[in-house]
Structures are given as C-alpha cells and as structure tokens.
C-alpha cells in the first residue's frame, strides 16, 4: 500500500444542512468517485476515521463551545423524536442535524489519526476527506459551515503530543481561515500562511494579523499565475525560515475558477503547483510530513478534479 493515507468515515455523509445547501454530502461522493475512476484510490492507504476525544477538541475549543454543540445535539434529538424539524440553525448559513456532532468528531478525529500515522512514519502524508469542514470554527463559536476546527485541533495536538516546536498551517481556501487564526494567533510554535479573496466572507484577516500569521488578501478575479507569484514571494520564504516539523493544509478548493462560491481564477493545474511547492518544503524540512484536510469546494466537477490533482501530488502519481 501507498505512503499516502486517505481518512474518512461514513458519519461524514450523514451530517447535512438542508435541501440545496452547497456544503452537502454529495461533495464526498464526487471526490470518492473521481479518485476511484482515475485509479488514484489504488495508490492510497484507506483509514476509517475514529472519533476525536473531547480532551483533544479542548486543545483548540472552549469547554463552553463543546458543551453547546453537544447540548444542541441532545435537544435536537428530542425535538425530532417529538416530530419537530430535523435541523437547528447555529448561524445564518450553518445548521446541525442529529448526525452533525458525530460527523464533527470524525472530521477532527481523522486529522488526529492522520497526525499520529504521519508522526509514526507509517505514512508520509495524508488526505482527510471529511465534512463538516473546520477553518471558520473559532475557539468559542461555530460558523461558516464549521463546528470544530479540524486543522487547529490537530495542530495543537501535534505540538502537545509529540512535543513539536514548529507546526505550519497552509490555507488555500478562497475564504480567510478566521477560526484557525483565532485559535493559533500569537502561538509562536505555529505559523499560518494563507491567501484569500478580500473583501469577502468572513470579512476579516487584513487588519493587524499576529506575527505568526501570513495573511495575503487578494482581489476578486485574481488569476492562478498571480496567486503562484504571491506564494513564491510571501509564503515560501516564511515557511523556509520557520523550518516546520509538520505541515497541515486547510485544503479548500473554492478558489477554483469554476466555483461560483468565490471569484478567484485557480485551476487544477494551480492546485498541482501549490501542492508541489508545499511538498518541496515538507521534504526539505520534515521528511515530507503533511496532513491535508478538506475545507471548501462546492462545484462538484471542479472539486473532484482539484482534489484528484492535490492527492496525485501527495502520492507522487
């Protein structure tokens, strides 16, 4: 089997936020179908994601937030059993169903288990095909389709469990990873590099970021070639100076030019290039150790092609 792991769990399909919601279970079907039909699946080692321990979720989230999510789940279950509606709204575009709690624990658990496998040398790198995504989830708050911050939980876990000194987070989703910033800003053991469309949801990230945040806001309609130049000039020197011992990727694919959630112009060739540059840094400084977690990406065909491009580079295909 390959040295690239693929982590997911069927619970990640059961969470859904209502008819027509873009962050839907079909996203995972599109990804799995594409990887299967192109033969990429054959090169990956499959893992069933465990549930994250609450003690590990607490490394990045307040007990109050965790209790609120659990409380909403218990309340919703009673409501549904009494014939009530199947969803409860946590922000204008984010809602929970009875399976959200389990799916969120599996998503974070995938990132944690992938971290363990990569740190043990069992895998060189891993891709977590999970939902709900995580990078908007703040220490105290669910928002923007996210409940627990999968990457931030795993980054804090890696620092603690393996006594690492330097963990990098790379975020190439079209939206600013405000939750990851909220959790990691000021923690000098972490370096976060990102670009994001601005001004755009969640309408922050451009003002006085902490010294360990390399936020690059870009205007709508920016092309992939310009994003590559930004990465070369703004990300790579900071990553090389930081010398990460492990790299996490918040892998959102909604900056694709076919994805109408955002207005950036990336293509799957750009995701190939970006992944290769991250992998170059990982091979140079940390034996190639990368844990990549799915974030956004809402047009099925573009999402599937982009994930294929990303995973092909991870798996050296």
> Hey, how many other C-beta atoms are within 10 angstroms of the C-beta on 144?
26
Binding residue for Zn ion (CB under 5 A) from 40, 296, 302, 306? 296
Smallest separation (angstroms) from Zn ion to the CB of 230: 18
The residue (of 73 and 180) whose beta carbon lies closer to Zn ion is 180
**Per the structure block, which two tokens stand in for 293?**
């977690």
297 near Zn ion (CB under 5 A)? no
Interacting span for Zn ion (CB under 5 A) from 99-107, 110-118, 190-198, 295-303: 295-303
Distance of CA 164 to the CA centre of its chain: 21
Q: Tell me the angle at which helices 63-81 and 100-119 cross, rounded to the nearest 10 degrees.
A: 140
Smallest separation (angstroms) from Zn ion to the CB of 254: 4
9 near Zn ion (CB under 5 A)? no
Cα–Cα distance measured from residue 68 to residue 228, given in angstroms and rounded to the nearest whole number? 40
Smallest separation (angstroms) from Zn ion to the CB of 22: 10
173 near Zn ion (CB under 5 A)? yes
Smallest separation (angstroms) from Zn ion to the CB of 4: 24
The residue (of 56 and 270) whose beta carbon lies closer to Zn ion is 270
The residue (of 4 and 194) whose beta carbon lies closer to Zn ion is 194
11 near Zn ion (CB under 5 A)? no
Smallest separation (angstroms) from Zn ion to the CB of 279: 22
16 near Zn ion (CB under 5 A)? no
Interacting span for Zn ion (CB under 5 A) from 59-67, 85-93, 217-225, 288-296: 288-296
Please tell me which residue in 65, 99, 135, 136 is annotated as part of the active site.
136
Size of the site for Zn ion (CB under 5 A): 5
Radius of gyration in angstroms for the set of CA atoms belonging to the chain, rounded to a whole number: 18
Cβ-proximal residue to Zn ion, closest one: 296
Smallest separation (angstroms) from Zn ion to the CB of 178: 11
44-48 and 125-128: which strand pairing? unpaired
The residue (of 224 and 296) whose beta carbon lies closer to Zn ion is 296
Question: 295 near 250, Cβ under 8 Å?
Answer: yes
290-294 and 125-128: which strand pairing? parallel
Tokens 């990132």: give the residue.
111
The residue (of 141 and 289) whose beta carbon lies closer to Zn ion is 141
List beta partners, residue 253: none
Cα–Cα distance measured from residue 198 to residue 176, given in angstroms and rounded to the nearest whole number? 8
The residue (of 175 and 310) whose beta carbon lies closer to Zn ion is 175
288 near Zn ion (CB under 5 A)? no
The residue (of 124 and 173) whose beta carbon lies closer to Zn ion is 173
144 near Zn ion (CB under 5 A)? no
> Hey, how many other C-beta atoms are within 10 angstroms of the C-beta on 29?
13
Q: For residue 169, which of 202, 213, 138 has the smallest C-alpha distance?
A: 213
23 near Zn ion (CB under 5 A)? no
Q: Tell me the angle at which helices 300-314 and 268-285 cross, rounded to the nearest 10 degrees.
A: 30
Helix segments in 162-299, DSSP class H: 178-184, 224-230, 236-242, 268-285
Q: What is the DSSP string of 132-151?
A: S--TT-BTTB-BTTBSS-HH
- Is 176 one of the catalytic residues? no
Could you say which residues in the range 239-268 bind Zn ion, by CB under 5 A? 252, 254
Peptide bond into 132 cis (omega under 30): yes
End-to-end Cα, the chain, rounded Å: 13
Smallest separation (angstroms) from Zn ion to the CB of 295: 6
Active site residues: 136
Binding site for Zn ion (CB under 5 A): 173, 175, 252, 254, 296
């Amino acid at each position: 089997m390959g040295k690239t792991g693929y982590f997911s769990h069927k619970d990640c399909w059961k969470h859904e936020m209502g008819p027509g919601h873009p962050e839907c279970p079909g996203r995972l079907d599109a990804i799995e179908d594409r990887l299967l039909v192109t033969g990429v699946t054959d090169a990956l080692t499959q893992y069933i994601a465990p549930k994250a321990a609450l003690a590990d979720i607490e490394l990045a989230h307040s007990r109050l937030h965790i209790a609120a999510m659990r409380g909403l789940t218990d309340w919703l279950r009673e409501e549904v059993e009494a014939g009530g509606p199947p969803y409860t709204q946590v922000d204008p575009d984010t809602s929970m169903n009875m399976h959200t709690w389990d799916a969120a624990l599996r998503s974070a658990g995938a990132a944690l288990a992938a971290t363990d496998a990569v740190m043990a040398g069992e895998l060189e790198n891993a891709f977590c095909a999970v939902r709900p995504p995580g990078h908007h989830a703040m220490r105290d708050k669910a928002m923007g389709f996210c409940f627990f911050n999968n990457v931030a939980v795993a980054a804090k876990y890696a620092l603690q469990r393996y006594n690492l000194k330097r963990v990098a987070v790379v975020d190439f989703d079209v939206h600013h990873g405000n939750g990851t910033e909220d959790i990691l800003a000021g923690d000098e053991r972490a370096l976060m590099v990102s670009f994001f469309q601005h001004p755009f949801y969640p309408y922050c990230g451009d003002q006085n970021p902490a010294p360990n945040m390399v936020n690059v806001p870009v205007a709508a309609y920016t092309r992939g070639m310009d994003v590559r130049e930004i990465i070369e000039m703004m990300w790579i020197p900071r990553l090389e100076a930081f010398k990460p011992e492990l790299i996490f990727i918040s892998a959102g694919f909604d900056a694709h030019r076919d994805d109408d959630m955002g207005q950036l112009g990336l293509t799957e060739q750009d995701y190939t290039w970006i992944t290769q540059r991250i992998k170059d840094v990982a091979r140079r400084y940390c034996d190639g150790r990368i844990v990549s977690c799915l974030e956004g990406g809402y047009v099925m065909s573009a999402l599937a092609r982009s994930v294929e491009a990303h995973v092909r580079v991870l798996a050296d295909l």
